[in-house]
Amino acid sequence: MDELFESVSITGTMVWYYAVCPREAWLLSHQLTPDEDDENIRMGRRIHEDSYARGNHEVVLAGSKMDRVVRKGGKLVVYEVKKSSRHEASARLQLLFYLFQMHEAGLEASGELHYPEEKRVVRLELGDAELKEISAVVAEVRTLIARDLPPPAKRIPVCRQCAYAEFCWA
């Protein structure tokens, strides 16, 4: 069990799911994929493809796919694009995780959450408090995914739009 615990890569998407619903994070970490035809997943892909299409350069680091990394004024900036700010707290943790990965790789960067439909940008820095926060979240995710079984299904508001609904409620 400990070997699996250490070998599973944590990704930004997993951190996002964990913040929304830990059961989703467990399912994702165990290679159980959501309904790919789910309207929310398709819409998210369209927004991702349409946003910054000319200069969109997805970057992969340690298994995480960052929407875009650019250099602004000599500093790296990681962009994360979301369809709405409804789950801003989870999007913030996802972006902090990407900044943490960059930091661990010896790269200093700041981050920007982009909400194209809302024409809004939220800027983030990885300071000491954020580093402590994301380190704790990563430890919690590692503990979660090491479990043999997912957390029990629990109805929350996002269940109505969840691409994993069949895993919980079928």
Cβ proximity of 95 and 82 under 8 Å: no
State the pLDDT confidence band at 39, using cuts at 50, 70 and 90.
low
- Confidence tier at 54 by pLDDT (50, 70, 90): very low
Q: Please report which confidence band the pLDDT of residue 16 belongs to, taking 50, 70 and 90 as the band edges.
A: very high
Domain extent for 149: 2-169
Residues above pLDDT 70, as percent of the chain: 78
Distances (CA, A) of 141 to 65, 71, 91: 18, 30, 15
Q: For residue 108, give the nearest of 58, 72, 56 by alpha carbon.
A: 72
Q: 129-166, pLDDT tens digit by residue?
A: 999 999 999 999 999 999 999 999 999 998 888 888 88
Of 155, 166, 169, 168, the residue nearest 37 (C-alpha): 166
Give the count of domains, the chain.
1
Contact at 8 Å (CB) between 31 and 150? Answer: no
Q: Which residues contact 22 (CB under 8 A, 6 or more apart)?
A: 144, 151
- The answer to whether the beta carbons of residues 42 and 34 sit under 8 Å apart is no
- Chain-centre distance for alpha carbon 67: 11
- Sign of the C-alpha dihedral, residues 153, 159, 164, 165? positive
Residues 84/117, Cβ–Cβ less than 8 Å? yes
How much is the pLDDT for 27?
92
Confirm whether pTM is higher than 0.85. Answer: no
Which CATH number does the domain housing residue 48 bear?
3.90.320.10
